[in-house]
Amino acid sequence: MESGKARSSSEVPSMCNSVFDKSICYATTWGSSQVFKTSNHGDTWNITSNNSGSGWGSDLCREDPTLVLTGNYGSQAYLTTNGGATFFNVNTGLSEAGQVLWFRKRILGSICRQDFFIN
């Protein structure tokens, strides 16, 4: 989805939006392993990430909308700290069942592994 044109026929299993700015929303795709972002209420969508593995879940930190967590059905999880400009892998030590993502909070300006829940 870019400039109003469909880019793939992949399933979109997850969408999350910011409570601070309702024009911002992220969507993961199942087959193409991409994360899309809109900043204009869905009028246009741009690819923010091409993570390995299929996208299954996503969540934004409720205290800081620049922190976004995405993951697949297995043990892959990716975090951005800059609103989707770059994502890095945070799957070290995760189990093989990553179906639920919940970004609880940001503590003292740093990201702690205990601050998000992946199960």
Angstrom distances, CA of residue 22 to CA of 27, 31, 41: 14, 27, 7
pLDDT in the model for residue 60: 80
Q: What ranges do the domains of the chain cover?
A: 14-105
Q: Are 35 and 51 in contact (CB under 8 A)?
A: yes
Average pLDDT, stretch 75-96?
A: 77
CA distance 111 to 79: 10
Would the pTM count as exceeding 0.85? no
Residue 46: how many other CB atoms lie within 10 Å: 13
pLDDT in the model for residue 44: 94
Angstrom distances, CA of residue 91 to CA of 36, 40, 116: 20, 31, 12
